Amino acid sequence: MAALLDLSPQAALEFELTAIATFDRMMRQLHAEQYRRIQRARELAAVVEGVTESSTVGERDLATRSFVAELATTVGVHEASASRLVAEAERLTGPRSATLAALEVGELALTQVRSVLELTSGLPAEVADAVEGVACEAASAAASSGTVATNSELRRRMRRARERMHPEPLADRRARAVAERRVCVEPAPDGMAWLSLFLEAERAIAIDHRLDVLAARAASGDPRTPAQRAADLAGDLLLGGVLADDDRTRSGMAGTGAVAPRINVTVPVLTLLGLDDEPAELEGYGPIDADTARRLAAHAPSLRRILVHPETGAVRNYGREVYRASADLDGYVRVRDGQCRFPGCSRRAERADLDHTTAWAHGGETCAANLAVLCRHHHRLKHEAGWRVALEENGIMRWTSPAGHVLRTLPERPFMPVGAGDGVDPPTGPPADQLEVVPPDPLASFDDEWQSLLEQSAPVPF
């Protein structure tokens, strides 16, 4: 950098831009090489998993899913991202090799490569090759002439070629695409989230237009922007089918609209009682502020308490008595783990299975120390692929991949044991191993619940 001090600002700027362009070309080359390595690693993983030409489709699929999990945990990405890389590598080292070559020489950027893969997907081979050729030729011509071929420009050219040569009528393709419509929620910082709808284009445009029209009818003195009014209108309409200013249809609704929330109370019990402002946690999202948590709890029909031994932190152990966990043990494990315990998986516990880490058939017990939350996909990987798991202290799970990588996952809420002298008085009753912790009977009213919780959370003497 010292040498740059002798350059004029104009010359230094040109130097930096040249360096940026050089690094960009290098990254494109590295992306191309990464795709080749991923495909090679997938082939080797299949050999390790014992896949042969005589293997069934199910065995091949399981080996692929196992490799996706291996790749995700190796590079530290979500399995959806790893699966995308694997699928892209297969196509780029196969039928879309011309696109990979254009990426390697720097004529196509990674976003443009993914546009080629998207717009050639599902096409007959000759049509896909022609659409790919449109992109590669445009990118090569732009590089030769020193012009810029943006991703949007390439997509326009490819779409025109795709529609012109596609053998299947657009109406038939639309009917198939409509089957993929869905709603997605993506958490955002500061207590917010994105809500997305994937649906027919005309419905999306009509919804956007209707919200714009409704938001434009601002009431006198309304300080909200049109964008804020449109967002509030969408939320009110989705939650209750009514508008925010229609008092006749909003009576008796829950604090979030027409949705009555379920609150799992763990540590922030004093927050709900108004004695503390420690953030609560909304399942499927993350931390929320204390006022929001109290507002949601005020409309909850009941509270589910997680009861543990006051000294050891242990929950009820059913040993070999029963295979299926009872409601209290099931709830404890799901709140403790929070989500699937496979490395990198974020599927919430309420949508996952409860698994015996040491199988019941092999002598495993039905207890918190041998139960963990696994989504159905990773549940199958544990039992049918080459992944091995062992439990360590404090709820840590040690996973070993088919390639020998060791990864560890932690429970979302460990419920660490608390011993005498660590902030609580020593127990005066029978020994811990003679105590049986069972859920209390439901109380008569919500006010009784608050009073009971307040009595249980009396300050600990110092």
In a shared domain, residues 358 and 449: no
8 A C-beta contact, residue 339 and residue 349: yes
d(CA 311, CA 59): 48
Using CA atoms, how far residue 17 sits from 14, 145, 334, in Å, is 5, 19, 52
The pLDDT of residue 39? 97
**2 found inside a domain:** no
Terminal Cα distance for the chain, rounded: 58
In a shared domain, residues 63 and 164: yes
In a shared domain, residues 245 and 294: no
In a shared domain, residues 162 and 197: no
Using CA atoms, how far residue 125 sits from 91, 131, 428, in Å, is 12, 10, 78
Instruction: Determine which helix (DSSP H) or strand (DSSP E) holds 74, and give its type and residue range.
Output: helix 57-75
In a shared domain, residues 53 and 141: yes
Domain end point (choices 120, 146, 168) = 168
The pLDDT of residue 350? 83
Half-sphere exposure of 72 (CA within 13 A, CB side): 20
**427 found inside a domain:** no
Cα torsion 79, 84, 89, 92 to 10°: value is 180
8 A C-beta contact, residue 284 and residue 185: yes
**315 found inside a domain:** no
pLDDT surpasses 90 at 197: yes
In a shared domain, residues 370 and 267: no
d(CA 260, CA 71): 40
Domain end point (choices 249, 270, 290) = 249
How much is the mean pLDDT over the chain?
Answer: 78
**254 found inside a domain:** no
Tell me the mean pLDDT in the region 120-141.
Answer: 93
More confident residue, 165 or 242: 165
In a shared domain, residues 341 and 296: no
Dump pLDDT digits (tens) for 370-410.
Answer: 899 999 999 988 988 888 898 887 778 999 988 888 888 88
pLDDT surpasses 60 at 420: no
The pTM of the whole model exceeds 0.75: no
pLDDT surpasses 60 at 462: no
Name the pLDDT band for 46 (thresholds 50, 70, 90). Answer: very high
Name the pLDDT band for 191 (thresholds 50, 70, 90). Answer: confident
Number of domains forming the structure of the chain = 4
Dump pLDDT digits (tens) for 312-364.
Answer: 444 555 555 667 887 878 888 888 888 899 988 888 888 899 999 888 888 88
Q: Interior CA angle at 221 toward 219 and 225, to 5°?
A: 75
Q: What percentage of the chain has pLDDT greater than the value 90?
A: 32
**424 found inside a domain:** no
DSSP letter for each residue of 282-294: ETTTEEE-HHHHH
Residue 137 backbone phi and psi in degrees, to 5: -65, -40
Q: Which residue has the tokens 């080292």?
A: 93
In a shared domain, residues 49 and 131: yes
8 A C-beta contact, residue 37 and residue 26: no
Instruction: Determine which helix (DSSP H) or strand (DSSP E) holds 192, and give its type and residue range.
Output: strand 192-198
In a shared domain, residues 290 and 270: yes
In a shared domain, residues 125 and 146: yes
Name the pLDDT band for 287 (thresholds 50, 70, 90). Answer: low
Q: Which domain holds residue 93?
A: 10-168
More confident residue, 346 or 439: 346
Residue type, 379: H
Q: Which residue has the tokens 């070999």?
A: 320
